[in-house]
């Protein structure tokens, strides 16, 4: 398989899985089992971590090849394809959100009986259960998109989520491209992805996640309607789709230049 295509497929899987995990908040509200739903998030994101592990050496190989051929500019188009693959993964995940909510809701209830994630997964692949899961498949309907207003919902965290998703999508790619521009210090550049992702992490843990948890807990306690959580999940996923389609593409090169400047600063500390 072409390395770029392989990386794009893995990137799509990563973002598809992360979008699927977002729907677990709504499943948690419907089942009133938030702790169990959050543990399912971690189990689901194992797919993301595995894909990241497989993807990393291919991204590194692309950078090394560009440096050896003296054509680092070729990475721009390749990495833009990777960012677009992130958008495709998020879009597919968004379209399948009603299906994910239905399946995860059933899985949480089933987990009460089996008490084991491996046993739950094994049971899901039995022909009878697999057919039952497939029968639940449905795409968003017009009715499911009704009553998704922003009344009473803190909107700042939705915009913050848009920024966070966009930055996470390009943080590593920007650092790799910066490394190709300063090949003798490319390891330093790759380590400096934190100066981009670090800002996103701070925003995520201080503004996005606490607000999501607050709204979800209020719905479980009956202080908010389930429709509020449904709207929150919808706009979070919409932010993922829009962020990777537009903002991530716009931030890619400026972030690479930012990391390149930081790399040159570190390089200057070591002299020639």
* Distance in angstroms (rounded) separating the CA atoms of residues 30 and 18: 20
User: Is the pLDDT score of 233 beyond 70?
Assistant: yes
**pLDDT at site 66:** 94
Residues with Cβ < 8 Å from 227, sequence gap 6 or more? Answer: 147, 148
Give the per-residue pLDDT at 16. 95
Lowest-confidence region among 33-47, 52-66, 159-173, 204-218: 33-47
Q: What is the mean pLDDT of the chain?
A: 90
Task: Look at the alpha carbons of 40, 43, 45, 48 in this order and tell me if their dihedral is positive or negative.
Answer: negative
Average pLDDT score over residue span 2-31:
91
CB 97 within 8 A of CB 140: yes
pLDDT at 196: 87
Residues in the chain: 272
Burial of 223 (0-12, 13-18, 19+ CB in 10 A): exposed
**Longest Cα pair distance anywhere in the chain, in angstroms?**
67
Asked if 253 and 42 touch (Cβ cutoff 8 Å), the reply is no
Percent of the chain with pLDDT over 90: 49
Torsion, Cα of 17, 139, 232, 30 (10° steps): -90
DSSP string, 195-239: HHHHHHHHHIIIIIHHHHHHHHHHHHTTSS-HHHHHHHHHHHHHH
Residue 272 has pLDDT above 70, yes or no: no
Tell me: the pLDDT tens digits for 87-145? 999 999 999 999 999 999 998 888 888 878 888 888 888 888 889 888 888 888 877 77
The sign of the dihedral angle between the CA atoms of 142, 219, 217, 163 is positive
Q: Reply yes or no on whether the pLDDT at 271 is more than 90.
A: no
For residue range 141-174, what is the model confidence (pLDDT) as tens digits?
A: 877 777 787 777 788 888 999 999 999 999 999 9
User: Tell me, what's the pLDDT at 1?
Assistant: 62
| Per-residue pLDDT, 173 | 95
pLDDT (mean) for 208-215? 90
At which residue do the structure tokens 């049971």 appear?
123
Measure the CA–CA gap between 161 and 126, rounded to whole angstroms: 38
**Mean pLDDT of the 235-255 span:** 95
Amino acid 259: pLDDT: 95
């Amino acid at each position: 398989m072409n390395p770029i295509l392989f990386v794009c497929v893995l990137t799509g899987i990563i973002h598809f899985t992360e979008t699927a995990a977002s729907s677990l908040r709504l499943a948690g509200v419907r089942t009133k089992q938030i702790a169990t739903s959050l543990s399912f998030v971690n189990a689901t994101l194992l797919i993301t971590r595995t894909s990241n592990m497989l993807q990393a050496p291919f991204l590194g190989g692309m950078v090394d090849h560009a440096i050896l051929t003296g054509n680092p500019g070729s990475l721009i188009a390749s990495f833009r394809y990777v960012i677009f693959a992130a958008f495709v993964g998020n879009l597919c995940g968004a379209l399948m959100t009603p299906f994910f909510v239905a399946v995860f809701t059933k899985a949480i209830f089933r987990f009460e009986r089996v008490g084991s994630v491996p046993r739950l997964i094994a049971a899901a692949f039995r022909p009878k259960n697999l057919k039952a899961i497939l029968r639940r498949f449905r795409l968003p309907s017009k009715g499911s998109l009704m009553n998704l207003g922003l009344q009473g919902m803190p909107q700042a965290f939705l915009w913050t989520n848009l920024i966070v998703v966009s930055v996470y999508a390009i943080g590593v790619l920007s650092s790799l491209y910066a490394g190709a521009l300063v090949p003798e210090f490319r390891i330093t550049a790759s380590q400096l992805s934190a100066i981009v992702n670090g800002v996103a992490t701070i925003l995520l843990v201080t503004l996005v996640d606490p607000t999501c948890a607050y709204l979800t807990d209020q719905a479980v306690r009956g202080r908010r309607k389930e429709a509020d959580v449904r709207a929150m999940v919808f706009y979070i996923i919409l932010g993922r789709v829009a962020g990777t389609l537009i903002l991530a593409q716009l931030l890619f090169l400026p972030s690479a230049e930012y990391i390149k400047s930081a790399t040159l600063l570190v390089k200057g500390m070591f002299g020639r």
